[in-house]
Amino acid sequence: MTPHLYPGEVKNDPMGESREGPLRFAVAHPTVGFMRAFKLVFGLCIGIVGCLSLVHPLQAQDAQADYVQLAKELEVRELNTLMFAKYNDANLAKIAAFLEKHREGPEREKVLYLRAYSIWSLRRYEQAPQAYAALLAEFPKTKFKRLARIREAAAYLFSGQAEKALPRLQSLQKDHPDKPEIYARELAYALSRCGKQKEALRFMDAVEAEMAFGAKDRLLPRIKTHFDKVRLIGKPLQAFSVKDHRTGQTISPKTLNGKVVLIDFWATWCGPCLAEMPHVAKAHRELSEKGFVVFGVSLDEDQAKMDRMIAKRKMDWLHHFDGKKWKNELAVAFDVHSIPASLMIDRAGIVRAVNLRGREVAAVAKSLLQQK
């Protein structure tokens, strides 16, 4: 049996001649050499194909094993089209390492989702849209498609990019006209923040009627609380009178008149509230001397804990606290059932925006301060 030769390899020829590679043999023995060279090349091709055929199964097995280990370390739980996992920077690094190592394969679908889910859960809303978009681009028919589209749009909204959220939410409305409960709140906010308040009002009225008569009335109360906030826009701030927690001075629409005011409902136990606090603090630092006021309404029960948080985060603005949690005087007056919640008031005491997130807090405040 003639051994396989590679160009540049020197072997002893069975006929007693030394030769260097198949080309030299073919020249020395035109007929026999050609056949042997052909067999050699054919054998090489078969060998290469055989080796390549083993690569994909081995890579697939490797990816499967790595995913099982990753899921174990992240404590992944799956429920139909939902996945839950422990999210932190260390686990995000593990996810990134898996995606770098395995550039293709079905396991990437779940890992891409876990990356987006982790970023979303860490409330890094400016990064989340890209993470969900990457999942949708690589797996356009993913079982997580609907949730990924909703969160991509919501993350744009929560990061103060309503203009990017709106077309995505309108696309969801077009694709799921019979399921307004999955996008109605976000779409109402996006319409309002994009200057389409009248359209937002018509949309909310239509959704409420549809859900009330479509056997979805049980889902309506939670959505309606958000709708009612959007309906406050353009109306005067309702009357109230409370004391500032630290100075005891009266706070009312009258005392706030002439200022641009953010009324911010929050609590020390509210993770999303604390995630938004740097944006509020930044706006206060930059704009307080220009007439911007932050009025925090705490839904805490523990005064000492609240005071420590105010000191730690240097929340040097107005505060109201009565220790009643969800029955807080102003929370009841403004029908607040979820936090963070906020109202932005102009100099004339008119509500101009509600439930602002991220960089929109400063952007809207600056715009209102410029108005005379």
Residue 28 belongs to a domain: yes
My answer on whether 254 and 212 are in the same domain is no
pLDDT, tens only, 175-227:
999 999 999 999 999 999 999 999 999 999 999 999 988 788 888 888 999 99
Q: Render 109-137 in DSSP notation, one character per residue.
A: HHHHHHHHHHHHHTT-TTTHHHHHHHHHH
- 249 and 327, same domain (yes or no): yes
CB count, 10 Å around CB of 226? Answer: 20
pLDDT of residue 13: 40
Say if 88 falls within a structural domain.
no
Domain match, 65 and 174 both? no
What is the rounded average pLDDT of the residues 301-328?
96
- Statement to judge: residues 206 and 272 lie in one domain: no
172 with 272, same domain: the answer is no
Residues 217, 271: one domain? no
Does 95 reside within a domain? no
User: What are the pLDDT digits (tens) for 260-276?
Assistant: 999 999 999 999 999 99
What is the per-residue pLDDT for 1?
42
Q: Which amino acid, residue 276?
A: E
257, part of any domain: yes
Residue-wise pLDDT for 265-305, tens only, equals 999 999 999 999 999 999 999 999 999 999 999 999 999 99
Tell me, yes or no, whether 212 and 311 share the same domain: no
Q: Are residues 184 and 276 in the same domain?
A: no
Our measurement of the distance from residue 91's CA atom to the centroid of its chain's CA atoms, rounded to an integer in Å, reads: 16
Task: Give the model's pLDDT for residue 358.
Answer: 86
Predicted model pTM: 0.79
Within a domain: 312 = yes
How far apart are alpha carbons 63 and 246 in whole angstroms?
Answer: 58
Query: Above 90 in pLDDT, residue 361?
Result: yes
Are 279 and 333 members of one domain?
yes
Residue at which a domain ends, from 20, 51, 74: 74
The tens digit of pLDDT for each residue in 33-90 reads 555 655 565 555 555 545 444 445 556 679 999 999 999 999 999 998 899 999 999 9
- Of 17 and 244, the one with more pLDDT: 244
Residues 172 and 70 in one domain: no
Q: How many structural domains does the chain have? A: 3
225 domain-assigned: yes
The boundaries of the domain holding residue 68 are: 10-74
- Report which DSSP code applies to 110: H
Output the average pLDDT for the chain: 87
Q: What angle do CA 42, 44, 48 make, to 5 degrees?
A: 120
Q: CA distances (Å), 275 to each of 130, 162, 303, 307, 358, in order?
A: 19, 19, 20, 18, 9
Same domain for 259 and 306, yes or no, is yes
The radius of gyration computed from the CA coordinates of the chain, to the nearest angstrom, equals 32
- CB of 241 closer than 8 Å to CB of 249: no
